[in-house]
């Protein structure tokens, strides 16, 4: 309730306008990324910019910060017009931006990262004492604890974000733009960030944060502006709206969450028995892991990022091999499997990073669709690709999986993230897999694409596949999984039935407090 | 001014880019020509005439283009797979060395086998020369730009040593040159009483074959995928290491064949001035062709024409034939800019 009071207070005192966007329009060729968008931001206000991927949020902020030049419209900061196309002018006007991908030098200390660029180039000394005092003062005032002499490369993601925010504050930012700030944070770190935002706005700063997550909007913002297809479709006081309304505004139609039907799990399709993957460091990546996935069953792997999820996914993808223990598919022990062998054995693999590992962006859609089975006689004869057959296959997949693209010959990198993921789904699910490995299947996707991906996974489960979902998004796992196992420091808990474990217990397990396990297992 | 990426580069722009680059290079070099005091238009006129103006000029240009097509293909094939082979010059000499040994009098081979053996041996020698750096790259991450570049000097010194020693022609009057290959090892002439030989047809056929492999076969499919995104290729189950190594064999082999064809088709013996930098010019050819196997043919003929035409021009005017090197180098720089402009659009801010 304290947060709500605070929001009312901030809005009650009608503060002066610090930022005004008027009629911003930006076109990329035939695409209108921003269509006559007008927005105002008040002193002490947190404005959430909500929208699906491709709605134009990032473009708008890039115009504001001078990375892009708007075709029409103007930006006014503190009553003065901002010259377009100049990040320097934006900085000088007091606008600071924290990008989704941090712009810090790993090999420099926190203090150096923050002070770099603020000192004159042609001076042989630098007043590090003063810089340090200023930094510590700012950190103290806004509750942003950092160690000035720590190397940035050694910091956690949450700490790096604090450094980025301090960097903006150090440059006297009065308007802070945060691009998807919680995308990389744990729930606890997100809570800390929202706490910081409150302190900043209490000091009179204004904050714009870009997001496509509903609960953040309610946790942190005073006002929410919803973008869809480049247009500003609505602006609401956060307290006067609700999730359903925002979701509809964002997507343009009502969304129904999928309701998984109850199903009896069948025979096992994947069994890991006592699997260890060493890393060369002191702690193994996977430590004596046991896991079983059965037909008609979705098993979710929950955990904080970097606890062995990638190794587990690579193992089942065939990219790495167990140092000890066995991996069996459909009851058969798999020896030295490579990715091609895994595909042949009926494993559909959805990689964690669809840009880097999933698709070859420079190649055509049809070429990417045959990437896992180009040796198949359906697609080649004597080493010559049957291009007609491959294109026809691509057209079928595009149709069946609702991939929005100009056609089989479109270059893959021109597709949106959601359509790329549909392409990968089409590539793997079209062949009736026995096991689906879905690694972060909806990371970075908008609501519409998320519900599509979830629907497809549930469909595959109904058709008899076993599904292993590895996700750092606990909501996703709770929405899909029949059984949940938690991964921590490379060790995996037994799979816990979804209905027998609480979110609080999962949180404890994710943080490594495995002493709650007996309690859960006994209850189950 | 700022650069914005183009969503789609139309074919017209991709074809116009090299033409524009060449025109820009000619315009820039006109300043140098004018500096010598020679009339620019007449100089360029003589250059074109010297390159294409007569039967002799044309065959000379095509003779010069033959090794350039092969080294251009060598560079294009490797660069497409992101294997930065700067060592085509050394591979060319290794190929020439193998051809001179296999086609020489030392081995007593049946006449019909000599020529194929010399050519295949030359290609193999070139391929194996690049295989070393490729293995080091794949296994240990050693930068192949450094290893292939430095191997050029190793190979040249090796050839130099052999020409002064084991391979030195006893009838060569003390010149550092090898004994000539036997008659059966010579590539037949394509046009009588000119220097143009069957190596040209070989090079043209290889360009077409490589293009077909690239676009139509799973071999080329794997090559393109590995070149564009090795991680995604590995994830999909493609043999990334094998693709790299076979690309190295192919690229080095093409450069080696260029050397073998020069020996068997043109020179007949091996000297240290067999190649006036064909290996390095091959990089320019490949870049001008935007790494397209068929484009390589056009680019190679263009570069060859510049060199041959500049020789003719320098005989008639006080413009040194070094202008050819400057023109080629300027073309490469302009092509890099043109390539950038083809991929991005320039915007006023």
Token pair recorded at residue A330: 């459909």
Tell me how close the Cα of B215 comes to any Cα of chain A, in angstroms: 9
Contacts A69 to B, Cβ<8 Å: 2, 347, 349
Residues A191 and A298 in one domain: no
Which of the residues A371, A380, A427 would you substitute to probe the B interface, choosing the one with the greatest number of B C-beta atoms within 10 Å?
Answer: A371
Residues A440 and A422 in one domain: no
Q: Could you say which DSSP state residue B169 is in?
A: -
A186 pLDDT band, cuts 50/70/90, is low
Q: Is B1 touching A (CB cutoff 8 A)?
A: no
Amino acid A282: pLDDT: 67
Q: Which CATH number characterizes residue A11's domain?
A: 3.40.50.300
* The domain boundary residue, chosen from A255, A282, A300: A255
Tell me how close the Cα of B4 comes to any Cα of chain A, in angstroms: 9
Residue A352 lies in a domain: no
Residue-range definition of the domain harbouring residue A406:
360-431
* The domain boundary residue, chosen from A371, A399, A431: A431
Amino acid A290: pLDDT: 94
How far apart CA B143 and CA A81 sit, in angstroms, is 50
The number of folded domains in chain A is: 4
How far apart CA A24 and CA A35 sit, in angstroms, is 7
CB spacing of B236 vs A338 below 8 angstroms: no
Residue A454 lies in a domain: yes
Residues A25 and A81 in one domain: yes
Amino acid A67: pLDDT: 83
Tell me how close the Cα of B79 comes to any Cα of chain A, in angstroms: 15
Residue-range definition of the domain harbouring residue B90:
39-317
Rounded to two decimals, the ipTM of the complex is: 0.82
Residues A325 and A465 in one domain: yes
Amino acid B243: pLDDT: 94
Contacts B229 to A, Cβ<8 Å: 356, 359-362
Amino acid A432: pLDDT: 87
Distances (CA, A) of B156 to A94, A152, B161, B162, B252: 62, 48, 9, 10, 16
Residues A268 and A331 in one domain: yes
How far apart CA B31 and CA A403 sit, in angstroms, is 54
CB spacing of B237 vs A29 below 8 angstroms: no
Residue B24 lies in a domain: no
Residue B94 lies in a domain: yes
Residue B10 lies in a domain: no
A395 pLDDT band, cuts 50/70/90, is very high
Residues A70 and A7 in one domain: yes
Which of the residues A345, A360, A373 would you substitute to probe the B interface, choosing the one with the greatest number of B C-beta atoms within 10 Å?
Answer: A360
Contacts B1 to A, Cβ<8 Å: none
pLDDT in tens, A122-172: 766 767 788 888 888 888 888 787 888 888 877 777 788 888 888 888 888
* The domain boundary residue, chosen from A173, A202, A225: A173
Residue B332 lies in a domain: no
CB spacing of A362 vs B229 below 8 angstroms: yes
Residues A203 and A225 in one domain: yes
Check pLDDT > 70 for residue A4: no
Q: State mean pLDDT over A19-25.
A: 91
Q: Residues 6 or more apart from B275 whose CB is under 8 A from it?
A: B67, B89, B92, B93, B96, B259, B262
Check pLDDT > 70 for residue A2: no
Amino acid A255: pLDDT: 55
Residue A145 lies in a domain: yes
Give yes or no for a contact between A287 and A294, defined as CB atoms under 8 angstroms apart.
no
How far apart CA A172 and CA A93 sit, in angstroms, is 9
Which residues of chain A are at the B interface, by a Cβ-Cβ cutoff of 8 Å? 28-29, 69, 84-85, 317-319, 338-343, 349, 351, 356-363, 367, 371-372, 374-375, 380, 383-385, 387, 411, 414
Contacts A29 to B, Cβ<8 Å: 7
Q: State mean pLDDT over A321-348.
A: 89
Give yes or no for a contact between A452 and A251, defined as CB atoms under 8 angstroms apart.
no
Amino acid B150: pLDDT: 96
Contacts B228 to A, Cβ<8 Å: 360-363
Give yes or no for a contact between B259 and B266, defined as CB atoms under 8 angstroms apart.
no
Residues A425 and A449 in one domain: no
Residue A351 lies in a domain: no
To which residue do tokens 């998807």 refer? A180
Check pLDDT > 70 for residue A453: yes
DSSP helix/strand/coil, A455: helix
Q: Which residues 203-242 of B are in CB contact (within 8 Å) with A?
A: 216-219, 221-222, 224-225, 228-229, 231-238
Residue B17 lies in a domain: no
Amino acid B348: pLDDT: 64
Q: Residues 6 or more apart from A428 whose CB is under 8 A from it?
A: A348, A349, A350, A372, A436
For chains A and B, CB pairs below 8 A equal 79
Residues A191 and A89 in one domain: yes
Amino acid A12: pLDDT: 43
Residue B266 lies in a domain: yes
Q: Which residue of B has its CA nearest to A71?
A: B349
Residue B281 lies in a domain: yes
Residue A414 lies in a domain: yes
Amino acid A61: pLDDT: 86
**Sites in chain B below the pLDDT cut of 50:** none
Residue B5 lies in a domain: no
Residues A314 and A438 in one domain: yes
pLDDT in tens, A477-506: 888 899 999 998 889 999 988 888 887 788
Q: Which CATH number characterizes residue B173's domain?
A: 1.10.3470
pLDDT in tens, A262-302: 677 789 999 999 999 987 666 788 999 999 999 999 999 98
The number of folded domains in chain B is: 1
Q: Residues 6 or more apart from A61 whose CB is under 8 A from it?
A: A49, A97, A177, A179, A208, A210
A253 pLDDT band, cuts 50/70/90, is low
Distances (CA, A) of B254 to A199, A449, B117, B287: 67, 48, 15, 17
pLDDT in tens, A311-321: 999 999 999 98
Residue A354 lies in a domain: no
Residue A44 lies in a domain: yes
Element (H, E) at A37: strand A31-42
Amino acid A5: pLDDT: 43
CB spacing of A339 vs B234 below 8 angstroms: yes
Residue A43 lies in a domain: yes
Residues A450 and A423 in one domain: no
Residues A444 and A512 in one domain: yes
Q: Tell which wins on pLDDT, B210 or A111.
A: B210
């Amino acid at each position: 309730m304290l947060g709500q009071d605070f929001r009312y207070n901030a809005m009650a005192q009608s503060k002066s306008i610090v930022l005004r966007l008027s009629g911003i329009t930006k076109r990329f060729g035939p695409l209108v990324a921003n269509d006559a968008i007008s927005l105002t931001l008040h002193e002490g206000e947190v404005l959430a910019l909500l929208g699906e991927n491709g709605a134009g949020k990032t473009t708008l902020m890039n115009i504001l910060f001078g990375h892009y030049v708007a075709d029409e419209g103007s930006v006014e900061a503190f009553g003065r017009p901002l010259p377009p196309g100049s990040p320097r002018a934006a900085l000088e006007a007091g606008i600071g931006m924290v990008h989704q991908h941090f712009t810090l030098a790993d090999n420099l200390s926190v203090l150096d990262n923050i002070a770099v660029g603020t000192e004159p180039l042609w001076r042989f000394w630098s007043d590090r004492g003063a810089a340090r005092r200023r930094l510590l003062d700012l950190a103290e005032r806004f509750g942003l604890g950092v160690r000035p002499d720590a190397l940035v490369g050694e910091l956690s993601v949450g700490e790096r974000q604090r450094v980025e925010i301090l960097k903006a504050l150090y440059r006297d930012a009065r308007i802070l733009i945060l691009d998807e700030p919680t995308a990389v944070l744990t729930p606890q770190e997100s809570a800390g960030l929202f706490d910081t935002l409150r302190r900043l706005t209490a000091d009179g700063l204004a904050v714009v944060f870009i997001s496509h997550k509903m609960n953040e909007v309610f946790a942190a913002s005073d006002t929410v502006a919803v973008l869809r297809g480049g247009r500003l479709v609505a602006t609401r006081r956060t307290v006067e709206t609700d999730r359903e309304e925002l979701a509809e505004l964002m997507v343009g139609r009502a969304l129904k969450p999928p309701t998984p039907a109850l199903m009896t799990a069948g025979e096992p399709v994947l069994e890991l028995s006592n699997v260890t993957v060493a890393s060369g460091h002191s702690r193994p990546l996977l430590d004596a892991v046991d896991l079983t996935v059965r037909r008609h069953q979705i098993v979710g792997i929950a955990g904080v990022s970097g606890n062995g999820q990638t190794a587990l996914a690579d193992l089942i993808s065939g990219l790495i091999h167990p140092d000890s223990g066995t991996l069996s598919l459909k009851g058969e022990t798999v020896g030295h499997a490579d990715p091609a062998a895994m595909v042949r054995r009926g494993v559909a693999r959805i990689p964690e990073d669809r840009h880097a590992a999933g698709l070859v962006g420079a190649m055509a859609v049809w070429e990417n669709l045959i990437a896992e089975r180009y040796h198949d006689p359906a697609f080649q004869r004597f080493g010559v690709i049957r291009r007609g057959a491959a294109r026809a296959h691509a057209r079928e997949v595009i149709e069946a999986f609702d991939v929005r693209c100009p056609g089989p010959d479109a270059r893959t990198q021109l597709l949106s993230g959601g359509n790329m993921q549909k392409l990968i789904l089409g590539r793997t699910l079209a062949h009736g897999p026995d096991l689906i490995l879905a690694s972060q299947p909806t990371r970075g996707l908008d609501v519409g694409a998320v519900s599509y991906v979830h629907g497809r996974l549930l469909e595959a489960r109904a058709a008899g596949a076993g599904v292993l979902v590895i996700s750092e998004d606990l909501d996703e796992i709770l929405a899909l999984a029949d059984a949940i196992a938690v991964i921590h420091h490379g060790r995996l808990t037994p799979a816990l039935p979804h209905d027998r474990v609480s979110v609080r217990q999962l949180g404890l397990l994710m943080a490594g407090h495995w002493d709650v396990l007996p309690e859960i297992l006994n209850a189950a | 001014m700022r650069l914005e990426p183009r969503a789609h580069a139309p074919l017209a722009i991709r074809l116009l880019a090299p033409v524009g680059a060449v025109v820009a290079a000619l315009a820039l070099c006109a300043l140098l020509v004018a500096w010598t005091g020679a009339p620019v238009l007449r100089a360029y006129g003589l250059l074109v005439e010297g390159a294409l103006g007569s039967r002799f000029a044309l065959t000379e240009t095509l003779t010069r283009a033959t090794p350039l097509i092969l080294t251009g293909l060598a560079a294009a094939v490797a660069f497409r797979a992101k294997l930065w082979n700067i060592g085509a010059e050394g591979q060319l000499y290794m190929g020439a060395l193998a051809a001179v040994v296999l086609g020489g009098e030392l081995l007593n081979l049946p006449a019909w086998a000599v020529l194929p053996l010399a050519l295949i041996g030359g290609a193999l020698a070139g391929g194996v020369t690049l295989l070393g750096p490729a293995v080091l790259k794949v296994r240990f991450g050693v930068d192949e730009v450094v290893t292939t570049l430095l191997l050029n000097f190793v190979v040249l010194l090796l050839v130099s040593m052999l020409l002064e020693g084991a391979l030195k022609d006893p009838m060569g009057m003390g010149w550092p040159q090898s004994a000539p290959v036997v008659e059966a090892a010579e590539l037949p002439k394509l046009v009588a009483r000119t220097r143009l030989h069957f190596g040209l047809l070989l090079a043209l056929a290889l360009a077409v074959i490589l293009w077909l492999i690239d676009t139509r076969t799973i071999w080329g499919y794997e090559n393109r995928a590995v070149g564009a995104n090795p991680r995604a290729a590995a994830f999909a189950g493609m043999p990334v290491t094998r693709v790299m190594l076979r690309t190295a064999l192919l690229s080095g082999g093409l450069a080696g064949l260029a050397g073998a064809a020069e020996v068997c088709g043109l020179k007949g013996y091996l000297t240290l001035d067999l190649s006036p930098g064909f290996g390095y010019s091959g990089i320019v050819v490949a870049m001008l062709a935007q790494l397209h196997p068929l484009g390589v043919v056009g680019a190679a003929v263009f570069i060859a024409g510049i060199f041959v035409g500049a020789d003719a021009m320098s005989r008639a005017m006080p413009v040194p034939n070094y202008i050819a090197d400057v023109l080629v180098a300027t073309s490469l720089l302009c092509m890099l800019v043109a390539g950038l402009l083809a991929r991005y659009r320039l915007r006023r801010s």
